[in-house]
Amino acid sequence: MKGWLSLLFIFAGLIWMTTNIVHADQAVIQVDRLNVRSGPSLSDPIIGQANNSETYRIVNEKNDWTQIEWNDKKGWVASYLVKIKQEESLTSKVDYLRVREQPGMDGKLRGYLMKNIQVTKKKQQGDWVLISSAKVSGWVHSDYLSTYTHSNSKGKKETTSNTKSLGQVTVTTAVINVRTQGSTNTSIITQVGKGKTFDYVSESKGWFQIRLDNNKTGWVAGWLVTDKKSSTSTPKVQSSKITLLYNGTNIRSGPSSNNKVVGHGHKGDQFDVLGKEGQWYKISYKDMEAYVAGWIVKAGSSSTPPQPSNKKSDSLSGKTIMIDAGHGGFDPGAIGANGSYEKTLTLQTTKKLKNAIEQNGAHVMMTRSNDSYVSLSARTILSNTSKADVFVSIHYNSFPKDISVSGIGTYYYHSNSKSVASNIQSSLAEAVDLRDRGIKHGDFHVLKNNKKPAVLLELGFLSNPTEERIVKSSVFQNKVTQGVVNGLISYFD
């Protein structure tokens, strides 16, 4: 008997004694008829297509491409057109948990799980869960599984059940992502809807760590929620007057872009402030109460235009904006008089613009988010297959033959893009002090081959040494960002 038991435990060790494995992420397809290629580039052959909402396990990632397990093969898809979903990790509550070939007590036995061994949940059928691990895969009863909890350096499991709540946050937009860390670059745990309220146990750099219903925690962006503690107090009005910064400013019946427009103001107009609700000022307008957005006015006597707000408004709620950072990778674009690269400036500007647009409630898609090369055809394909409402391409100009040439301009190609071009250029001209070059018809690939309302912005001349120094500054880029956001708000209004 003693020898038999020794043999049994040796066998058990071969099956069960394994270190915790890292679970795989999944790619959820975001469009129909997405091409699956044999390699990570547009020049590689198409081996098939995947459709919207289909989910595949991620095998590898390279540059802007994701390799997936597809129809018993491996193929590559554009990372822009998939959403990463983290697979759920589970552990066994008991030793010697039976793993079966089929969901049910009559399923043939495949092996066993030992207590606290981490596995990946593949899918669920009734009370039975299909799990996968390095040693054994199959079906186990859900009653004997629990959610995996990471261990700290002392070997004790982290728990949030006894962590003191610092307050509550309420979701203010339609759907937000709950992430593993306080950054948009981390994995998505789940999604929660508008109106949901959660206790939060930590706050860092504009993010809240919230406690979910299953007692796990995740991080949500602070600009997409309201803090109950701060929202209960009425904001103090710092000035008895506000001054409009732009022509054609909408004045509304209530503190939201969904409220009726009761009039318009012009740059320099001043109004008495009656109060403040969120990011909106209540003003006295033609012997009645009205509202104007706080991010397009100046309060007090300062002559410095406000920088983009760090707080979220709902001005662009429900909209999707695709931002295109011109050039990238081995294509530097224009090279400035003092050596700056257009590709670097466009990326800096688009990152600021992304944050500002998201803070105003819209969803943002980027054609590139790092220093990588993306072909013009890939950019237009991405736009045409997306649900974007507007495509905005960011560039900086150059004319070395005459370094005195200066100014900002906006280009469009199709007639459906003229309105958004006009609104953005008008707001840009109000926001920055460079020459207004107006809007022009531009025969650019990303405009001509784009089915969406699309504009290309030239935000100053790098060949002009003075203008190059101006456009490189964070002050200028903040003004540009606010100008584009205001233009989009005007366009959708």
Residue type, 390: V
Phi-psi region of 96 (alpha: psi -120 to 50; beta: other; left: phi over 0): left
Q: Give residue 18's pLDDT.
A: 32
Between residues 273 and 231, the one the model is more confident about: 273
At 299, the amino acid letter reads A
Boundaries of every domain in the chain: 25-86, 88-147, 167-231, 241-299, 320-492
Q: Are 192 and 175 in contact (CB under 8 A)?
A: yes
Same fold for the pair 88-147 and 241-299: yes
Side-chain half-sphere exposure of 256, counting CA atoms within 13 A: 6
* CB neighbourhood size of 157 (10 A): 10
Q: What is the pLDDT of residues 35-90, one digit of tens each?
A: 899 998 888 899 999 888 788 888 887 766 788 888 888 999 887 677 766 666 77
pLDDT band, very low/low/confident/very high, at 416 (cuts 50, 70, 90): very high
Binned at pLDDT 50, 70 and 90, residue 423 comes out as confident
Residue 157: per-residue pLDDT: 40
Active-site amino acid positions: 458
Mean pLDDT (whole number) for 437-461:
94
Burial of 397 (0-12, 13-18, 19+ CB in 10 A): buried
Query: Which superfamily does 241-299 belong to?
Result: SH3 Domains (2.30.30.40)
Residue 21: pLDDT band (50, 70, 90) is very low
CB 320 within 8 A of CB 362: yes
Measure the N-to-C terminal CA separation of the chain; round to a whole number of Å.
82
Distance, CA of 56 to CA of 30 (rounded, Å): 12
The 10s digit of each residue's pLDDT in 364-404 is 999 999 999 999 999 999 999 999 999 999 999 999 888 88
Q: What percent of the chain has pLDDT over 70?
A: 79
**What is the model's pLDDT at position 5?**
45
Question: Strand 109-113 vs strand 97-100: parallel, antiparallel, or unpaired?
Answer: antiparallel
DSSP structure class, residue 295? G
Question: What phi-psi label fits residue 319: left (phi over 0), alpha (psi between -120 and 50 degrees) or beta?
Answer: beta
Cα separation, 282 vs 276, whole angstroms:
6
Domain 167-231, what architecture? Roll (2.30)
Residue from 322, 329, 333, 338 nearest 450 by CA: 322
Q: List pLDDT tens digits, range 162-201.
A: 567 788 888 876 667 787 887 655 666 777 777 788 888 8
Which architecture does CATH list for 25-86?
Answer: Roll (2.30)
List of long-range contacts for 227-232, beta carbons under 8 Å, 24+ apart:
227/167, 227/168, 227/169, 228/167, 228/168, 228/169, 228/170, 228/197, 229/167, 229/168, 231/170
Residue 67 is encoded by which pair of tokens? 């390799």
User: Which CATH code for domain 88-147?
Assistant: 2.30.30.40
Q: What's the whole-number average pLDDT of the chain?
A: 79
For CA atoms 114, 115, 119, 125, give the dihedral sign.
positive
What is the reported pLDDT for 429? Answer: 83
**pLDDT at res. 205:** 61
* Domain made up of 320-492: CATH architecture: 3-Layer(aba) Sandwich (3.40)
Q: Which residue has the higher pLDDT, 92 or 207?
A: 92
